[in-house]
Structure 1
Amino acid sequence: MPERSLILRPLPPFRLDLTVWALRRRPENRIDRWDGRTYCRTLVIAGHPVWIAVTEERAPGAPRLRVTMRAPVLPAQAEERVRQTLERLLGLRVDLRPFYRQLGGDPRLGPLIVRFKGLKPPRFPDLFETLVNAIACQQITLTQGIHLLNRLAQAFGRRVKDHPEAPPAFPKPEDLAGRDPEALRALGFSRQKAQAILNLAEEVVSGAVDLEAWEDLEDAEAIARLRALRGIGRWSAEYALLRGMGRLHIFPGDDVGARNHLQRWLGRRRPLDYAGVQRALAPWRPYAGLVYFHLLLKKLEEQGFLQKTTC
């Protein structure tokens, strides 16, 4: 099977393990896999599924990532597309030096910054995958949502031929458009979620919605357009701004899990509402989204997941 490799050099500091865990969110994630040393995923490039594996090579002075690509057909543009996708997925070009300078000495946030130094803010490969993640995880536990997404990829994701250990790719809009909602219902999706996902896929495929063009919109306009989509409310829209568009000033204030993490971290007795979340985050603006990721890692560490190998 054809194989190529390339070297990526993230802006320092960088830690692959922390960044991958912020992307995966749960050890049950079978789309983004991690064995304690290697991150692997299947990407679709020019219509072809391509397995990628990323390892961090310790080098003096600067972090370095070795990326291996494998597929029966490796498109000519594979290296550049993989580079672009990983820079987005793993936040490789995000410069966190201003964040460290401003808040590294903060009495509350500073210890988390030190503990998780090298965490980069991950983003889903595209806004479609972001929104499907948001829809899947609405009103259920994150673990339940991850299982739904695993089953969606297992049922409809493209696979690397003759590479059975490679995970299925996350479905593209064209993989889902035109499907019977009952096919998603059989995977455990509610009727409303199934219809929302399929409607989104069909609108993207038809050209009625150009999600890529929305990434450059101002926050208010982006949120308005996102909320006009079926099944997308305020939480899902803000989630998309942070995890899909990389807007690091956004903390999804309706995210129950993140809100509870924030409340416990601050030692608040009373639950925080949306407005309370925004007020509580004032000392750390414009980096509310980075607070979100640091609190996520704090919770994962407390649960013992950061040391687990689950590829």
Structure 2
Amino acid sequence: MDATFMLTPSPPFRLDLTVWALRRRPDNIVDRWEDGTYRRALVIENQPVEIAVTQIGPPDVPLLQVKATADQLPAEIEPAVTDFIDWTLGIHRDLTGFYHLAEQDVILDLLADRFRGMRPPRYPSLFECLVNAVACQQVTLTLGIRLLNRLVERHGIPVGSDVVARAFPRPEDLADVAPESLRDLQFSRQKARAVVELAQAYVSGAFDPRELNTLDDEAAVARLIELRGIGRWSAEYALLRGMGRLEVFPGDDVGARKNLRNWLDIAGPLDYDGVHQTLERWEPYAGLVYLHLLLDRLAGAGYVEGNGVS
């Protein structure tokens, strides 16, 4: 069964840039980009569903065609998928303030204009974001993505008989998993324990992500690092990538520091404080700088094409 409907993002919008800022690597099997279409499996009302999103209008007059497919479509499929796309792809997030700031700064304006139309994506849930952060700690991003792929292949709920379309595991899918079984997927002992304990904290109610909504950034980081396996980098990553706090630049992110140094042609190393001192001029949009620099790196690798590039 399938259902098709249309969504209209606020302009400018580019689906390709937004999806790549979310997926980060070409071998990500959760957030897939196939021939101009974004595909992802979700669990809606306990039913596995695959969505396919295609942009059929230009960035200045954007229009998205959305198709949802499942063996049995949930009754409220259209509003549920709409909410997912609105949150995850940020199709209505207002970046007017960021673009206005960029217009006053030649360096930032060049970067912002090159990737105009990207909306800051967010993971569908803070749980998924935190598991991503744990998997990617102290390893290359490519290896972290491979760990996550194995987790999804083992514990993700498939859509019908599709071996590719699997939803990212929910807390209840991982809470009863033995940490040692994740070792088979090449998770370290510490990471395996952190993932399972995080799932258990969600299921038991020991951690409720909604409590973070009332906390400022500093207090939210302090609460998150109480969780096993979550340090300052993971907590700040979660604020930006899981909650959409665009003022947050994860200052301990080694790759992001390198991107920042290369962009600004900074000769010496940057420590945590140096990162934030460098970014003061672009407050409160340090997180958007982070995402634009990620796209700049992906463009350099040939995965995306910026505006004005033929």
Instruction: Name the TM-score class by shorter chain.
Output: over 0.9
Distance in 2 (alpha carbons) for counterparts of 1:10 and 1:218 = 29
225-234 or 70-79: which moved more?
70-79
Instruction: Give the superposition deviation at 1:88.
Output: 1.0
Q: Which residue of structure 2 aligns with residue 207 of structure 1?
A: 205
Q: Which residue of structure 2 aligns with residue 128 of structure 1?
A: 127
Residues 216 and 10 (structure 1), Cα distance of their counterparts in 2 relative to 1, 3 Å cut? farther
Distance in 1 (alpha carbons) for counterparts of 2:184 and 2:112 = 43
Distance in 2 (alpha carbons) for counterparts of 1:237 and 1:3 = 38
2:14 and 2:59 in contact (8 A); partners too: no
**SS in structure 1 opposite 2:64?**
strand
> How do residues 127-146 of structure 1 correspond to structure 2 at under 5 angstroms?
127-146=126-145
255-264 or 98-107: which moved more?
98-107
Structure 2: where are the runs of 5+ without partners? 306-310
Distance in 1 (alpha carbons) for counterparts of 2:213 and 2:73 = 28
User: Which residue type is aligned with residue 157 of structure 2?
Assistant: R
- Say whether 1:54 aligns with 2:53: yes
Instruction: Give the superposition deviation at 1:106.
Output: 1.6
Q: Which residue of structure 1 aligns with residue 41 of structure 2?
A: 42
Cα deviation 1:155-197 (Å, max 9, x = unaligned) = 00001113x2652110000110111111110001000000000
What TM-score, normalized to structure 1?
0.95
Distance in 1 (alpha carbons) for counterparts of 2:116 and 2:189 = 42
The higher-RCO structure (CA 8 Å, 6+ apart) is 1
What TM-score, normalized to structure 2?
0.95
- Say whether 1:182 aligns with 2:180: yes
User: Which residue type is aligned with residue 208 of structure 2?
Assistant: D
Q: Which residue of structure 2 aligns with residue 293 of structure 1?
A: 291
**SS in structure 2 opposite 1:108?**
helix
Instruction: Give the superposition deviation at 1:217.
Output: 2.6
2:12 and 2:60 in contact (8 A); partners too: no
2:240 and 2:248 in contact (8 A); partners too: yes
2:30 and 2:149 in contact (8 A); partners too: yes
Structure 1: where are the runs of 5+ without partners? none
Distance in 2 (alpha carbons) for counterparts of 1:129 and 1:58 = 30
**SS in structure 1 opposite 2:251?**
coil
Instruction: Give the superposition deviation at 1:79.
Output: 1.3
Q: Which residue of structure 2 aligns with residue 28 of structure 1?
A: 27
User: Which residue type is aligned with residue 65 of structure 1?
Assistant: L
Structure 1 counterpart of 2:258, from 242, 257, 260? 260
Q: Which residue of structure 2 aligns with residue 161 of structure 1?
A: 160
Distance in 2 (alpha carbons) for counterparts of 1:165 and 1:11 = 35
Distance in 2 (alpha carbons) for counterparts of 1:114 and 1:78 = 35
Instruction: Give the superposition deviation at 1:129.
Output: 0.2
> How do residues 82-93 of structure 1 correspond to structure 2 at under 5 angstroms?
82-93=81-92
1:104 and 1:113 in contact (8 A); partners too: no
Q: Which residue of structure 1 aligns with residue 222 of structure 2?
A: 224
User: Which residue type is aligned with residue 56 of structure 1?
Assistant: Q
Distance in 1 (alpha carbons) for counterparts of 2:165 and 2:77 = 18
Q: Which residue of structure 1 aligns with residue 247 of structure 2?
A: 249
1:40 and 1:54 in contact (8 A); partners too: yes
Q: Percent identity?
A: 55
Instruction: Give the superposition deviation at 1:208.
Output: 1.4
State the superposition RMSD in angstroms: 1.3
Instruction: Give the superposition deviation at 1:74.
Output: 1.3
Distance in 1 (alpha carbons) for counterparts of 2:59 and 2:281 = 35
Distance in 2 (alpha carbons) for counterparts of 1:130 and 1:215 = 16
User: Which residue type is aligned with residue 224 of structure 1?
Assistant: A
1:86 and 1:92 in contact (8 A); partners too: yes
Instruction: Give the superposition deviation at 1:232.
Output: 0.4
Instruction: Give the superposition deviation at 1:6.
Output: 1.8
Distance in 2 (alpha carbons) for counterparts of 1:249 and 1:112 = 17
Q: Which residue of structure 2 aligns with residue 198 of structure 1?
A: 196
Distance in 2 (alpha carbons) for counterparts of 1:150 and 1:157 = 9
User: Which residue type is aligned with residue 299 of structure 2?
Assistant: E
Instruction: Give the superposition deviation at 1:216.
Output: 4.1
1:148 and 1:187 in contact (8 A); partners too: yes
Task: List structure 1 segments (4+ residues) > 6 angstroms apart after TM superposition.
Answer: none
Instruction: Give the superposition deviation at 1:85.
Output: 0.9
Instruction: Give the superposition deviation at 1:128.
Output: 0.2
2:8 and 2:62 in contact (8 A); partners too: yes
User: Which residue type is aligned with residue 99 of structure 1?
Assistant: F
